[in-house]
């Protein structure tokens, strides 16, 4: 059995990328994830977020097996991350809690987690301004959960970019446009989820 598996793997790796992609396009996202764990070569092929061929494989697989997922991924999110986050993720990213009644997807932060873990990682707008002296310009470039607050890791990343920006006004404007675009995509994704049969855990802020 082990010999046959190794032989099959070797045969697959001998295929041209275009032919390998054509085969993979007929596999479900679950099967693609399984295949990517067979060896580092297949993982490199199926996990590249820069390869046009790889992104096409995952997009075709998603469209074929989850036709209700018509929206494009969020800015900065690969096709692999998108289908994992939307369909395949079944536990909290931080504590590994798997009780679906305790989990929610937060598209604003691109995380799936329980309330306990989320509360450890968010902070209110007032606290960020008064206690941490975060500029309003920085806050305006980050998505939030309304009154619940902002993801601290996003704020820290935005602060670092803001501090390095030479033309801060242009940077803020560009980031604010990105936020508007992200919100539009999130609305489209939530609409897809509402229409779909797979009934994922989600939240609307």
pLDDT digits (tens, 9 = 90+) for 97-111: 999 999 999 999 999
Strands (E) in the chain, as ranges, are: 103-106, 111-114, 122-123, 150-151
Whole-number pLDDT of residue 41? 87
Residue 10: pLDDT band with limits 50, 70, 90: low
**pLDDT over 80 (residue 1):** no
Question: Domain locations in the chain?
Answer: 14-80, 121-195
Report in angstroms the alpha-carbon separations of 171 from 92, 151, 178, 184, 185. Answer: 33, 20, 11, 20, 21
Can you read off the two tokens belonging to residue 138? 């920085």
pLDDT in tens, 191-203: 887 776 544 444 4
Cα maximum dimension of the chain: 64
Whole-number pLDDT of residue 195? 72
Q: What is the pTM of this model?
A: 0.78
Whole-number pLDDT of residue 9? 55
Whole-number pLDDT of residue 38? 85
Rounded to an integer, what is the distance from CA 179 to the centroid of its chain?
15
């Amino acid at each position: 059995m082990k010999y046959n598996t190794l032989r099959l793997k070797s045969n697959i790796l001998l295929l041209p990328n275009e032919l390998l992609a054509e085969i993979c396009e007929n596999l479900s996202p679950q099967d693609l994830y399984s295949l990517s764990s067979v060896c580092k070569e297949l993982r490199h092929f199926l996990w590249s977020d820069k390869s046009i061929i790889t992104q096409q494989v995952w997009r075709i697989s998603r469209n074929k097996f989850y036709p209700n997922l018509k929206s494009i991924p969020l800015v900065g999110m690969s096709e692999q991350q998108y289908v994992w986050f939307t369909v395949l993720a079944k536990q909290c990213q931080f504590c590994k809690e798997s009780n679906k009644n305790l989990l929610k997807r937060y598209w604003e932060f691109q995380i799936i987690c329980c309330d306990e873990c989320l509360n450890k990682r968010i902070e209110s707008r007032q606290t960020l301004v008064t206690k941490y002296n975060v500029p309003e310009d920085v806050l305006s470039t980050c998505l939030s959960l309304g009154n619940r607050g902002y993801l601290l890791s996003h704020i820290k990343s935005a602060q670092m970019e803001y501090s390095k920006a030479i033309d801060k006004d242009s940077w803020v404007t560009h980031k604010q446009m990105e936020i508007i675009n992200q919100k539009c995509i999130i609305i489209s994704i939530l609409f897809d989820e509402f229409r779909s049969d797979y009934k994922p855990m989600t939240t609307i802020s």
